Amino acid sequence: MNDHDQQAPADAASTLAALWQLSGQEESALSQVRLSGKEPALPSSFAVGTAAQVSIAVSALAAAELHRQRAGLAQQVDVDMRHAAIEFRAEQYLRVDGAPAPEFRDKLTRTFQCGDGRWVRIHANFPHHRDGVLRILSCGHDTDAVSRALQSWNAFDFEDAAAAAGMVVTAMRSFDEWDAHPQGQEVADLPLLSIECIGDAPPQPLPTAARPLSGVRVLDLTRVIAGPVCGRTLAGHGADVLLVTASHLPSIEPLVMETGLGKRACALDLRGVPGQQAFDALLRQADVLVQGYRPGGLEALGLDAAAAAQKRPGLVYVSLCAYGQAGPWAARRGFDSLVQTASGFNHAEAQAGGGSAPAPLPAQALDRATGYLMAYAVMAALMRRSREGGSWHVRLSLAQTGHWLRQLGRVEGGLQTAMPSFGDIAGLTEQHASGFGMLTTIAHAARMSDTPVRWDLPAMPLGSHAPTWLARAPG
């Protein structure tokens, strides 16, 4: 086991400084940030509060620096750790017309013990994933039936069978087992994020504007949490974010509500010529494309990074995946909870609590942190595009974010911290009229002195808007 799996939690300020250096930005900008609060912020043996505070802070600092580049004005950024940690659990506190949001987790989305005594986690929130697992097990949609069926399986064999069928299941590993796994070794050798120039284009400085991302156009091809959090964050800084989905793609409505603030949402079926042509017209006028498909998943549509940058020189293209862009698991589908289980977090958290059954982190921390890191990297790439020109490819994965979280150390006694209830978060919520009713959401934890984050558009049901860009109007 690596030393950082036992060490005390990292200092938030030094963690932020290390993150800021990844994008090659000026170190002096760090003086604009004030971080308050301390661990433990949530019941965990991991530094989830630090990860929340720092990932939110680095995205806000990038927005502040981009605005300074555009308008010549520096500003202060303040992030409180407890507020940031609660924002990492935002879907848990969502209210619709004063009532808790509808439950979106399928009853099979949980852990089960296999016949060899090891545990697997099944993700069944999308109907095709649920039905695919049930076909493998030859049983009905019933937790007892699934438990019985898994008694004839070895956990790793079931994991592989599910992956071969395109389903999402992972076996629980310890950190030592993940570190010895070929994909764990691949992830350990990767940087947390990469920002790579992939093509020539002249510098494209952004004009003076009232907000950091005024006039910036973002195509959002993501679902669930990480990618949508990135798009919502960019919208909060003034970008025109157009979420592109289609009727055949499953979605999780409460997450659409919570991450849909500030965006417009159109429907385009990219499998057909009309949808492809409409998307191509949008792409040629976009500044940023964010996608969460498996590596290689968009190549057949001619929407991989290289092809997209040829169509739109100067594009910032963001690739998000579960397990990294290389390695034997690169093409595997995955979600935060599955990555936690496969890469050792559930085992380590269980050990810290004196148990043996898988113990999840107290938030979808890999998703949330990755979403804010994506937004940070997008804005860093836009700053480089302004100065240097070029087309840019940003790459991140949930597993790489997990490796970073491990490096932040452990919080002694953290599991004894109380989980904040809805009644504990007074003063941290705000209300938004929406196409779903009146939403109560967690306010953004980053406070910016001159360009406060705000969402000018309500969250709306998918497909509510036309597939067009708004007129560019700074401010």
| Residues carrying an active site annotation | 367
Q: Is the dihedral of CA 148, 151, 152, 154 positive or negative?
A: positive
Q: How far apart are CA 108 and CA 136, in angstroms?
A: 14
CA distances 451 to 3, 25, 148, 330, 386, Å, are 41, 20, 56, 38, 20
C-beta separation of 116 from 155 below 8 A: yes
Q: Taking the CA of residue 469 as centre, how many other CA atoms within 13 Å lie in the half-sphere pointing to its CB?
A: 23
Q: What is the dihedral of CA 33, 388, 396, 258, to 10 degrees?
A: 60
Q: Which residues of 157-177 are buried (b: 16+ CB within 10 A; e: fewer)?
A: ebbebbbeeebbbbbbbbbee
Taking CA atoms, 355 is separated from 147, 173, 346, 418, in Å, by: 20, 15, 11, 18
- Nearest-angstrom CA–CA distance, 369 and 367: 6
For residues 241-265, one letter each, b for 16 or more C-beta atoms within 10 angstroms of the residue's C-beta and e for the rest, the string is: bbbbbeeeeebbebbbbbbbbbbbb
Which is nearest to 457 in space by CA: 429, 430, 440, 432? 432
**What count of other Cβ atoms lies within 10 Å of the Cβ of residue 280?**
15
Q: How many residues in the chain?
A: 475
- Grouping H, G, I as helix, E, B as strand and the rest as coil, residue 95 is strand
| Distance of alpha carbon 410 from alpha carbon 44, whole angstroms | 9
Tell me if 30 sits within 8 A of 17, measured CB to CB.
Answer: yes
The tokens describing 343, both together, are 């890469």
